[in-house]
Chains A and B, each alone.
Chain A
Amino acid sequence: MTLLSSVPGRLSVAALLVTLTAPVLAQSTPQAGGVANVAIQPEPPGLMLPLVQNAPTQRVAGNIFEGLLRYDADLEPMPQLAESWKISDDGLTYTFTLHDDVTWHDGEPFSAEDVVFSVDFMRETNPRTRAVLAHVDSVTAPDDSTVVFTLETPFPAFIQAFEVGTLPMVPKHLYEGTDYYNNPANRHPIGTGPFEFAKWDRGSVIELDKNPDYYEAGKPYLDKIYWHVIPDAASRAAAYENGTLDIMPAGSVENFDLPRLSEMEGSCLTEAGNEYFNPFAMLWLNNREGPTADKRFRQAVMYALDRDFAKNVLWNGLGNVPNGPFTASLPAHDDSLTPYPYDPDRAEALLDEMGYDGEPVRLLPLPYGETWTRWSEAVRQNLEDVGINIETESSDVAGWNQKISDWDYDIAFTYLFQYGDPSLGIARTYDSDNIAKGSPWNNVEGYENPKVDQLFADAAVENDVDKRQAMYAEVQQILHEDVPLAWIMELAQPTVYRCNVHDLITTSIGLNDGFKNAWIEH
């Protein structure tokens, strides 16, 4: 018996029953209609993606805003607002031809002027975009549907910069000449995307409606998306189990709940859509002082860590143990490096050799929930087993930020996004020009090696693929030997969803690219 049998949220359950009784033959023609109920955690602070860059905002607002390009699982560019593009042979000129008949959600036409404005907007407000645009000399709009970027020097990673989170399009007619942060449009964001902002009951639900005038014919297929704000992980799991929610994005399910939820009947799990960000979990090792300043100590840490145990026990076997400083999804990854094996004896021998005297070493966990807490306990145990004297210092997110930014740690958990190219995601961690207090995302460990600086700098502007590859291979070998920090895991980003939802993830940024292609079989 149910007091709420007429609730529309049950639609998915009904759909599920149909799926179960229908022949197993999966449909491949998209069906229009239906509503997606998705978990979002934590609640985004705002949906104006060009101004608010945190993870939940990107996830929801990727439906509202769009970039010029999308990227497939091999990080190859695909058309979005730009229909086609051309890179000159010298790698200095990028010419984009825009899609015709694109309108903003308020009906105004989208044009090349908007692109030029967006570049300036993002350069002013977003440090990450600022860095990607560092080599850009000029951006011009010769006509309404053409945009030309001219670079000062070749910068092959530049083609990765047109993803919706890095360079979302901002409506010029609403923002030009205004105080961006107090613009009324921030509360009702206007984009060109497949879904429009409809309503936001703070603390409860964000509602997006299908954009009826979307420029790709027939899309999107879904009528509505509801993003349910449920702060407690156990409650989220219950809402998926009882059929209220259809899609649980990465991070909304605690790791210990993953097997239970994904093994439910009609429930699917995918790790796709992780290729662009590819969060890379590391331990910052303070290269400046204390035992961690000694290379032998840092190598000992690598030998002491049982990374496979962490992967299999804490992360349900999802993810990848890296062989060195580059994640396996990067084209420049060097497959020939031998990963540090789990070898406590070698770790102890190295510690003896350096004469480690049991000086206490502080460990700062990442306060991102249960799995991270357990992981820090596992790491602590690994390190204590080889005789390292660990003191755990816990903190909340703001405190963690502060400690890392002030270099007030010995060993600290973190994870970093890769953004599809070593010059965007990896170089920042080792480049000695990038040592400055105040940020938890730069060369926080204080590693300084002129050779490494030079290789990263040259590779970033090298237009020849083979030469670039050779430089990156050399840098990987140096870093692998020096262990400026401990590479512990390439994190998986599992999405759990009802199997009757199709084409949910079609690009390398996964759900962040919006539900343009998603459809529900019913």
Chain B
Amino acid sequence: MPYLSLILGRVGKAVIVLLAILVFNFFLIHAAPGDPAAVMAGEAGATDEQFLEDLRERFGLDQPLPVQLWRYMGGVLTLDFGYSYRQQMPVLDLILERLPATLMLTGAAFFISLSLGILAGTLAAMRVKRPSGSLIMGLSLLFYATPLYWVAMMAVLVFSVVLDWLPAYGYATVGAGYTGLAHAGDVALHLILPAVTLGLFFMAVYTRMTRTSMLSVSQQDFVKTARAKGLAPGVIQRRHILRNALLPIITLAGLQAGQMVGGAVLTETVFAWPGIGRLMYEALMQRDYNLLLGIFFFCALLVILFNMLTDVIYRLADPRIKQSAA
């Protein structure tokens, strides 16, 4: 019962936060100079008064801002995110078309960084002050400090241009006409470079955090007790140290997961990955208000969802949290 009311309370708060974000974004976007009609007129290379008026009327931009906001919010409450001025398509269609590619990329990066990061961190914690441990920490420092953009370019240069092992860009081979398993394999090949590139930074963070956290837990009394009662070192590492060291990593993983929609703009750009980050960047440049607000909405939704999920996982990982919350 308390669990249910807790969840209901959380959802209620989430809805309020989402609506507040929408209103705030709406005014923020309209505060930027230039509007979609002007951008489109600019690109046409010629314009006159009539053209601009036609465009603004068609987009509803001739209405006062509060009216525009009222209409937009009304639309969102019925899950109608409006029409993209520029792409002449419903916003929801555009987002849903591009969302899978982004989720695949960020999901793969998430999996790679989390699993390899924890593994490397654990190894480093077990090999403190040994060359192999120092090597892991050195590498993680390097990945942590190197700009993503540069890593991406170098990866393309080495693995695509020089070695020709992996495709340089894109989602699938153009014109190959693969279907079924061959298509899946083709997409997977294309996914390797961007996913690894995107995952490197967080992998480094997880590595460093796992190591630090494990080292601090291993100083605790219950670990000494475990050793004293003669448990095997592997069991102590896994059951006693690692599990207790996981909490800060879950926090961070929750943050990373929240960025899954909007956090891959750079990677998507360098690798021409047809994801939502690029769509967002283009919408911003073109002042495509409806599309931009729609993408912001999905980003916010995902952050809120993952924050809630993180809370649930906390409780699973550390039962003490549940007791204190109840």
Contact = CB atoms under 8 A, between A and B. Distances in A.
A224 B274 contact: no
Interface stretch (A169-177, A225-233, A309-317): A225-233
B41 A398 contact: no
Given A127-B46, A241-B161, A401 B39 contact: yes
B304 interface: no
Contacts of B40: 54
B88 A230 contact: no
B49 A9 contact: no
B88 A440 contact: no
Nearest to A44: B87
Contact of A235 (B44, B168, B172): B168
Contacts, number: 171
B275 A402 contact: no
Contacts of B62: none
A121 to B, nearest CB: 14
B278 A203 contact: yes
Contact of A438 (B52, B164, B172, B285): B52
B5 to A, nearest CB: 43
Contacts of A238: 156-157, 160-161, 168-169
A9 B46 CA distance: 38
Interface in B168-192: 168-176, 189
Contact of B169 (A46, A55, A230, A438): A230
Interface string A399-439: 10111010000000000110000000000000000001011
Contacts of A397: 34, 39, 42, 285
B121 interface: no
Contact of B98 (A54, A203, A416): A203
B45 A46 contact: no
B173 A234 contact: no
A229 B168 CA distance: 13
B301 interface: no
Contacts of B285: 396-398
A239 interface: yes
Given A231-B278, A241-B161, A397-B42, A441 B174 contact: no
Given A181-B58, A235-B156, A242-B164, A35 B41 contact: no
Nearest to A42: B282
A395 interface: yes
A401 B286 CA distance: 11
B153 interface: yes
Classify chain B's interface size: 35 or more
A401 B34 contact: yes
A186 B153 contact: no
Interface in B18-51: 32-35, 38-51
B167 A417 contact: no
A19 B38 CA distance: 48
From A181, A207, A231, residue with most partner B Cβ within 10 Å: A231
Contact of A4 (B43, B44, B153, B189): B189
A8 B175 contact: yes
Interface of B: 32-35, 38-52, 58, 86-89, 94, 97-98, 101, 153, 156-157, 160-161, 164-176, 189, 269-275, 278-279, 282, 285-287
A128 B46 contact: yes
Contacts of B153: 234
B176 A45 contact: no
A399 B285 CA distance: 9
Main secondary structure of the interface of A (DSSP, over half): mixed
A239 B58 CA distance: 40
A223 to B, nearest CB: 10
Given A45-B86, A439-B41, A439-B48, A398 B272 contact: no
A53 B161 CA distance: 35
A439 B48 CA distance: 7
A244 B176 CA distance: 13
B80 to A, nearest CB: 15
Contact of A242 (B35, B161, B269): B161
Interface string A195-216: 0000001111101000000000
A230 B272 contact: yes
Nearest to B168: A238
23 contacts: A2-B165, A7-B173, A35-B175, A46-B87, A46-B88, A127-B46, A127-B47, A128-B45, A130-B50, A187-B89, A201-B274, A202-B98, A203-B274, A207-B175, A228-B170, A229-B272, A231-B272, A231-B278, A232-B272, A235-B271, A238-B157, A241-B161, A401-B42
Contacts of A395: 33
Contact of A203 (B46, B50, B89, B279): B279
A3 interface: yes
B127 to A, nearest CB: 34
B282 A127 contact: no
A465 interface: no
Nearest to B167: A4
A8 B88 CA distance: 33
Contacts of B87: 45-46
A25 interface: no
From A42, A43, A204, residue with most partner B Cβ within 10 Å: A204
A133 to B, nearest CB: 13
A398 B33 CA distance: 7
Nearest to B48: A127
Contact of B32 (A127, A187, A399, A441): A399
Interface in A19-57: 35, 37, 42-43, 45-46, 53-55
Contacts of A440: 41-42, 47
Contacts of A403: 33
Contacts of B88: 45-46, 181-182, 186-187
A131 interface: yes
A226 B33 contact: no
B97 A202 contact: yes
A371 interface: no
A165 to B, nearest CB: 9
Contacts of A405: 38
Nearest to A58: B45
A270 interface: no
A1 interface: yes
A55 B44 CA distance: 8
